[in-house]
Amino acid sequence: VEVIDPRTVAPLDVTTIAQSVAKTGRLLIVEEAFGPFGLGAEVAAQLIDQGFDDLDAPIRRLTGAHTPTPYSPPLEAAVVPSVEMITQAIRDLVAE
């Protein structure tokens, strides 16, 4: 498993992501914001463009729930992806 934390979203360092996908054949995009039409969708679209042949499994996204983020810290934690959710998503993707 490789973790890539892009410094910027524009310009987005797709090359680094594509190199990683070339190694692993998989891409899991994790973001706290909600999924639809978000940054994760853009990353997925660009990666498909550059590294389609490297993919061995569908690109997966793990995003925050599609709801306004609550102010209360416990509620916020329930809405954004947790460490457990991320590890589970990785395991799922590897088995995909």
Partner 1 sequence: MAIPITIPRLGWNMEEGIFVGWLRRDGDPIQAGEALFTLESEKATEDVECLDSGILRIPVGSPKPGDPVKVGDLIGYLLGPGEKEVPANASQESFLKPKAVKGPVPVSTSKKIELTKIAISPRARRAAEELGVDWKKLKGTGRTGRIREQDVSNALQAAEVRDESEVGDSRITPTRRIIAERMRHSLSTTAPVTLTTTADATNLMNFRKEMNSRQGEKMPGFTDFFVKLAAIALASHPRLNSRWENDRIIQLREIHIGIAVDTEAGLRAPVIRDVPRLTLDEVADRSRALIDRARKGTLKIKEMEGGTFTITNLGAFGIDAFTPIIHWPECAILGIGRIRRQPVVINDQVVPREQVTLSLTFDHRIADGADAARFLQTLVALIEEPAAALARVENAQPPGI
The footprint of partner 1 (CB under 8 A) covers: 25, 52-57, 95-96
**DSSP-H helix ranges across 36-80:** 39-51, 73-79
Q: How far is the CB of 50 from partner 1 (least distance, A)?
A: 12
**Of 83 and 95, which has the nearer Cβ to partner 1?**
95
Q: Using CA atoms, how far apart are residues 48 and 35, in angstroms rounded to an integer?
A: 17
Q: How far is the CB of 87 from partner 1 (least distance, A)?
A: 18
Contacts of 71 (CB under 8 A, 6+ apart): none
Residue with tokens 């990683």: 20
**Of 3 and 95, which has the nearer Cβ to partner 1?**
95
Q: How far is the CB of 26 from partner 1 (least distance, A)?
A: 9
Q: How far is the CB of 33 from partner 1 (least distance, A)?
A: 27
Beta bridge partners, 34, equal 64
**Of 57 and 80, which has the nearer Cβ to partner 1?**
57
How many Cα atoms sit within 13 Å of 71 on the Cβ side?
Answer: 0
